Structure 1
Amino acid sequence: MINRRQFVGAAIWAIGMQGAAFGQGAAPGIRSMLVTAARAATRRLGREDGFFGDEFVRIPLPGLLGRTQGRLAPLGLSGPLDDLELRMNRAAEAVMPRARDLFIDAIRSMQVTDGIDIIQGSDTAATEYLRGRTQSPITRLLGPPMEDTLAASGAYGVLDDAAQLADRRSGIGRFFGSGRSAQSGAETYRGEITDFAVARAVDGVFHYIGEEERQIRRNPAGRTRDILQGLFGQ
C-alpha cells in the first residue's frame, strides 16, 4: 500500500528525474487526482437524495422563506415551502452530470503553479487550490442549466404557491418588494432562488471533492495507477 509519505516521495522523485520546475512535473498528477475526486463527488451527489438526504450539503430555503417554513411547519402549513425545498435539491441532483463536465474541463485546463505546496500541504490543499481558481467561472456556467432544471422540475411554479402562502400566513409579502403582489415578487425572486441553488450545489461538490482528496491521500492504493500515470506523464 502506498501511504502519503510514499506518494509525496514519488512526486518529488519525479520532478528531479524530469529536470523540470515542480509545478510542471506535479501538475498532471494533481489534475488526475482532482478529476478522480470530481467524478466521485458528482456521482455521489447526482443520485436521488444525494443533496436532499445529506445533512452536510442539503440545500435549505434561503432567508425569510426558510424562516417562514420553520414557523409554519409546526402548524402543518409548510407544504408548499417543503415542496420547494425538495425540488431545489432534486434540481441540484439532476444538474450534477453538467457540473461534472464543467469541473473536469476546469481541472484539465488549470495551470498548477504551486505543486510542491499542494502535495506537501493539507489533506485538501488541491481542492482549495481548485476552488480558488475555478469557483466563480463554474458558478456562472452552471447558472443556465440550473435554471432550466428548476423550471423543468416545477420548482418555479411551487415558488409562486409558496409566496402566496407566505403572504397570507406570515405577512411577508413585503419580502418580495413593497407595492408588488406575491406573484410578481415570486417571479423576481426566481433569479435569487436559482443563484442560491447554484451556489450551494457548487459548495456541495467542493465539499465532497475535498473528502475524496483526503481518501486518496490517506489510501491511494485503489487509485494509484491513474494518479501516478498522470504524475509521470504516461
Structure 2
Amino acid sequence: MERNVEMTGGARLGRRTVLVGAAAVALLALPGCETMRRYSLVDAVRRLLYHAQANAFARLMAPGGFWDNQLTRLDLPGALGSRGNILTNILTSMVFKDRLQREFNHMAERGARRAAPLVADAVEVIGIANAKALLDGGPTAATGYLRGQMAGSLIEAMSPELADALRISQEPLVGQALAALTGVDVSGLARDFAGEVDDAIWAEMGRQEAAIRADPRSTKDPVLIGALAAGY
C-alpha cells in the first residue's frame, strides 16, 4: 500500500513538472513575454561582442600582435611620408624602414592595451535598440554598431598613450624621424597613428565576430550558441 502511495505521489510530481514546463513554454509564446525575449536577444548581442573583443585584443596585445600578422600590420604614419623626403633621407635601406615600421607596430600594442578596457566596458553598458537586427545582420554587424556608438573615443584615449610611446622609444630611428618633421608635433603624429590603430582594432574585432558567427560552438557559451543557431 505504501509503495502504491509512493508511486502515485511520484506520478503526480512528474505530471506537475511536465505541466509547469509546458506552462513556461506557453508563457514565452505570449505577446506579453516579448520583453523577456528582447532581453535575451540583447544578452546574446552583448555576449557576441564580448567574445569578439576578447579574442581580438588577445591577439593584438600579444607580442608581435600587429607586426606578425599581415592583416593587422600597420604602415608608417602618413605624416612621415608626406613631408618632403623625410623617409628617403633617414631610411637609406629597407632594413631601416622595416626597423622603424616594426617599432611603430610595437607601439600600437600599447595603444591596444589602452583601448581594451574601454571596449569591454562599452559592451556591458551600451544601449542596444534592435538586437534582432544585429543578430540577423552581416558578419560584422554587431562590431559596426559598437564602433558607431563609441564614435572615435578610442582615438581620443590612445593618442596620449601613443605620444608617450613616441617620446620614450629606445629606437634611434624614431628620434630621427621626429626631429625631421616640421610643422607636425608629437601629439599630432600620435593622433594620426591612433586613427590607424583604431581602424586595425575594429577590423580585427570584425574578423573575430565573423569567425564566431561561423562557428558559435567555439565560444562554449550556451546562450550565444543557442541564439545564433536559432537564427533570430
Fold shared, TM-score > 0.5 on shorter chain: yes
Residue 148 to residue 49, structure 1, CA distance change in 2 (3 Å): same
Structure 2 counterpart of 1:196, from 192, 195, 207: 192
Residue 17 to residue 46, structure 1, CA distance change in 2 (3 Å): farther
Deviation at 1:82, TM superposition (A): 4.4
1:127 aligns with 2:143: yes
Deviation at 1:24, TM superposition (A): 3.8
Sequence identity (%): 25
1:58 aligns with 2:73: yes
Q: Distance in 2 between matches of 1:52 and 1:148?
A: 20
- Kindly tell me the number of residue pairs found equivalent between the two proteins: 198
Question: Partner letter of residue 60 of structure 1?
Answer: D
Residues 34-113 of structure 1 mapped to structure 2, 5 A cutoff: 34-63=49-78, 65-66=80-81, 68=85, 71=88, 75-76=92-93, 79=96, 82-113=98-129
Asked whether the 8 Å contact 1:15–1:25 carries over to 2, the reply is no
1:223 aligns with 2:229: no
Question: What is the TM-score when the length of structure 1 is the normalising length?
Answer: 0.70
Question: What is the TM-score when the length of structure 2 is the normalising length?
Answer: 0.71
* Unmatched segments (≥5 aa) in structure 1: 1-12, 167-174, 178-187
Q: Which of structures 1 and 2 has the bigger CA Rg?
A: 2
Asked whether the 8 Å contact 1:60–1:66 carries over to 2, the reply is no
Deviation at 1:72, TM superposition (A): 6.0
Q: Distance in 2 between matches of 1:144 and 1:14?
A: 52
Deviation at 1:214, TM superposition (A): 0.8
**SS at 2:73's partner residue?**
coil
Q: Which residue of 2 is the match for residue 212 of structure 1? A: 208
Q: Which residue of 2 is the match for residue 27 of structure 1? A: 42
Residue 55 to residue 69, structure 1, CA distance change in 2 (3 Å): farther
Q: Which residue of 2 is the match for residue 184 of structure 1? A: none
**SS at 2:64's partner residue?**
coil
Asked whether the 8 Å contact 1:118–1:125 carries over to 2, the reply is yes
- Alignment RMSD, CA only? 3.3
Q: Distance in 2 between matches of 1:105 and 1:136?
A: 15
Question: Partner letter of residue 196 of structure 1?
Answer: D
**SS at 1:118's partner residue?**
helix
Q: Distance in 2 between matches of 1:143 and 1:44?
A: 21
Q: Distance in 2 between matches of 1:61 and 1:72?
A: 15
Asked whether the 8 Å contact 1:57–1:200 carries over to 2, the reply is no
Question: Partner letter of residue 113 of structure 2?
Answer: P
Asked whether the 8 Å contact 2:49–2:123 carries over to 1, the reply is yes
